[in-house]
């Protein structure tokens, strides 16, 4: 009897430790503690062979995540065909809304006039069944979008929304070059936080490591998205898998620990699509901290980074000297898609992206081989040939 009682207490104790092992870091400006791992709601599991979200499985995953310490939930207007916010509103009940910090994003591409700011925020709060958004972002800023938002005086609007108690922290997610990132920060030093794409093999992409340090120097907390590059880093090519095998390291663990190893990062978002991923990520988060990488892991990181670098097929540095193309082809993005496909796999994913999300006018098929880009390219890339190769590779049914 005593033995059974002892074991029962031990089980309860271990359960308590497990449920309270999540680590937290400050969102600097309001000193709120957020879990180092956030739940991204862009990749919910789907009912087999459909595009319909498996709500029962999402419920199981989400409640498990919150019960085990995740307190930051990130969604946006367009996720899951505009259903993600609505699903969260349905599931964050029975007290769960009070346990989390909820983040969503203004659909900037839909904003035509200043009144649209209130219109979409109201719609989002209705979808989410909440009267308050803890963290509100301008979604996917790039140069022209930022200019458009500034012309509509979005910063004054955000200050008013804060005073009304509709939003808490105000930030932005970002997809452009480092100079644009610095410009956005410099033009509004009062950002509460920012969200950047950043991962172990993407130190020089978009804001990159330089942007990470620049935001930190300016006192702006940083949330990282795409830590596994949409899951592609979790399934490396065979030659890179050999490096992980040699060092007996899990690719997911190394990629996440590499991020949490950095003091500048406040939170890492993961778009989890299975219960196994939720459990794995929570476990890795519990074992990670600033300075957590071992000497062996640091060596493995360098080898993995170099191996991915050597997979580059087209030596494009995205300097954009080739732009604008007289035929409107988005040359750097298309060459980047080719390289990403060769480096990380995900052929079908990139076929879908290229075929359905790159407008026809910007596709490689619009190239007339005028040769203007050849004169401008400092890398002397045969751009028309590579555009043709990319179109053949990435157009669905080709």
Give the range of the structural domain holding residue 385, as residue numbers without chain letter: 331-394
**174 & 220 share domain:** yes
Residue 352: pLDDT above 90? no
Confidence of residue 31 (pLDDT cuts 50, 70, 90): confident
164 domain residue, yes or no:
yes
Question: Same domain for 105 and 205?
Answer: yes
Residues 143 and 234 in one domain: yes
Whether residues 78 and 144 share a domain: the answer is yes
- Is the pLDDT at 13 greater than 80? The verdict is no
pLDDT in tens, 93-149: 889 999 999 999 999 999 999 999 999 999 999 999 999 999 999 999 988 899 999
Return the pLDDT at 318: 78
Residue 154 lies in a domain: yes
What pLDDT is attached to residue 315?
A: 79
Mapping DSSP onto H, E and C, the string for the chain reads CHHHHHHHHHHHHHHHHHHCCCCEEEECCCCEEEECEEEECCCCCECCCCCCECHHHHHHHHHHHHHCCCCEEECCCCHHHHCHHHHHHHHCCCCCHHHCEEEEEECHHHCCCCHHHHHHHHHHHHHHCCCCEEEEEEEEECHHHHHHHHHCCHHHHHHHHHHCCCEEEEEEEECCCHHHHHHHHHHCCCCCEEEEECCCCCCCCCCHHHHHHHHHHCCCCEEEECCCCCCHHHCCCHHHHHHHHHHCCCHHHHHHHHHHCCCCEEEEEECCCCHHHHHHHHHHHHCCCCCCCCHHHHHHHHHHHHHHHHCCCCCCCCCCCCCCCCCCCCHHHHHHHHHHHHHHCCHHHHHHHHHHHCCHHHCHHHCCCCCHHHHHCCCCCCHHHHHHHHHHHHCCCC
Report yes or no on 273 lying in a domain. yes
Q: 267 and 373 in one domain?
A: no
Shared domain for 154 and 96, answered yes or no, is yes
% of the chain exceeding 90 in pLDDT: 73
Q: What's the whole-number mean pLDDT along residues 38-45?
A: 96
Q: Is residue 306 over pLDDT 90?
A: yes
370: in domain? yes
Most confident of the ranges 134-138, 315-319, 376-380: 134-138
In a domain, 1, yes or no: no
Is residue 28 very low, low, confident or very high in pLDDT (cuts 50, 70, 90)?
low
Write down the pLDDT at residue 376. Answer: 85
Most confident segment among 30-44, 61-75, 300-314, 381-395: 61-75
Whether residues 269 and 343 share a domain: the answer is no
| Average pLDDT score over residue span 248-257 | 98
- Give the per-residue pLDDT at 30: 66
In a domain, 113, yes or no: yes
Is there a single domain that holds both residue 200 and residue 345? no
pLDDT in tens, 284-303: 999 999 999 999 999 999 99
Q: 210 and 261 in one domain?
A: yes
Question: Of all residues in the chain, what percent carry a pLDDT higher than 70?
Answer: 94
Mean of pLDDT values over 321-336: 91
Q: Is the pLDDT of residue 29 over 80?
A: no
**43-88 pLDDT, tens per residue?**
999 999 888 999 999 999 999 999 999 999 999 999 999 999 999 9
Range from 2-6, 220-224, 273-277 carrying the lowest mean pLDDT: 2-6
Reported as a pLDDT band with limits 50, 70 and 90, residue 319 is confident
Structure confidence by residue, pLDDT tens digits, 214-225? 999 999 999 999
Q: What is the pLDDT of residue 375?
A: 84
Domain end point (choices 302, 323, 353): 302
Averaged pLDDT for residues 189-216: 94
Residue 349 pLDDT > 60, yes or no? yes
Taking the whole predicted model, whether its pTM rises above 0.85 is answered as no
Residue 345 pLDDT exceeds 80: no
Cβ(80)–Cβ(87) below 8 Å: yes
Task: Return the higher-pLDDT residue of 360 and 278.
Answer: 278
Residues 251 and 190 in one domain: yes
> Do 164 and 293 fall within a single domain?
yes
How many domains does the chain divide into?
A: 2
CATH number at residue 29: 3.20.20.100
Strands 167-174 vs 265-270: parallel, antiparallel or unpaired: unpaired
Q: What is the pLDDT of residue 383?
A: 95
- Domain annotation covers residue 313: no
Q: Are residues 271 and 205 in the same domain?
A: yes
The pLDDT of residue 4 is: 41
Residue 202 lies in a domain: yes
């Amino acid at each position: 009897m005593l033995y059974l009682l002892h074991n029962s207490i031990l089980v309860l104790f271990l359960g308590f430790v497990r449920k309270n092992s999540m680590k937290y870091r400050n969102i600097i400006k309001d000193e709120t503690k957020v879990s180092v791992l956030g739940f991204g709601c862009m990749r919910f599991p789907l009912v087999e062979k459909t595009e319909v979200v498996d709500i029962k499985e999402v419920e199981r995953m989400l409640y498990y995540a919150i019960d085990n310490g995740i307190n930051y939930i990130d969604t946006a207007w367009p996720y899951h065909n505009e259903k993600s916010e609505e699903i969260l509103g349905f599931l964050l009940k029975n007290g769960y809304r009070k346990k989390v910090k909820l983040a969503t994003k203004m659909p900037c591409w839909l904003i035509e006039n200043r009144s649209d700011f209130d219109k979409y925020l109201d719609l989002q709060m209705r979808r989410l069944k909440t009267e308050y958004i803890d963290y509100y972002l301008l979604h996917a800023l790039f140069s022209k979008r930022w200019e458009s938002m500034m012309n509509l005086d979005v910063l004054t609007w955000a200050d008013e929304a804060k005073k009304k108690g509709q939003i808490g922290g105000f930030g932005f997610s970002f997809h452009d070059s480092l100079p644009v990132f610095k410009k956005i920060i410099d033009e509004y030093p009062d950002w509460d936080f920012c969200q950047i794409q950043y991962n172990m093999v993407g130190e020089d992409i978009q804001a990159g490591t330089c942007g990470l340090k620049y935001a930190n120097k300016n006192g702006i907390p940083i949330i990282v998205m795409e830590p596994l590059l949409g899951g592609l880093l979790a399934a490396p090519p065979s030659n890179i898998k050999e490096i992980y095998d040699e060092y007996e390291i899990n690719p997911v663990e190394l990629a996440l620990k590499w991020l949490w190893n950095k003091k500048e990062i406040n939170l890492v978002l993961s778009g989890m699509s299975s219960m196994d991923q939720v459990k794995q990520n929570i476990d890795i988060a519990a074992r990670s901290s600033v300075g957590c990488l071992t000497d062996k892991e640091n060596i493995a990181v360098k080898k993995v980074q170099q191996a991915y670098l050597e997979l580059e097929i087209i030596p494009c540095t995205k300097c954009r000297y080739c732009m604008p193309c007289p035929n409107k082809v988005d040359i750097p993005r298309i060459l980047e898609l080719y390289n990403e496909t060769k480096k990380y796999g995900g052929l079908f994913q990139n076929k879908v992206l290229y075929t359905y999300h790159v407008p026809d006018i910007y596709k490689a098929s619009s190239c007339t081989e005028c040769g203007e880009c050849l004169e401008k390219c400092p890398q002397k890339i045969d751009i028309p040939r590579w555009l043709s190769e990319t179109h053949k590779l990435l157009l669905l049914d080709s």
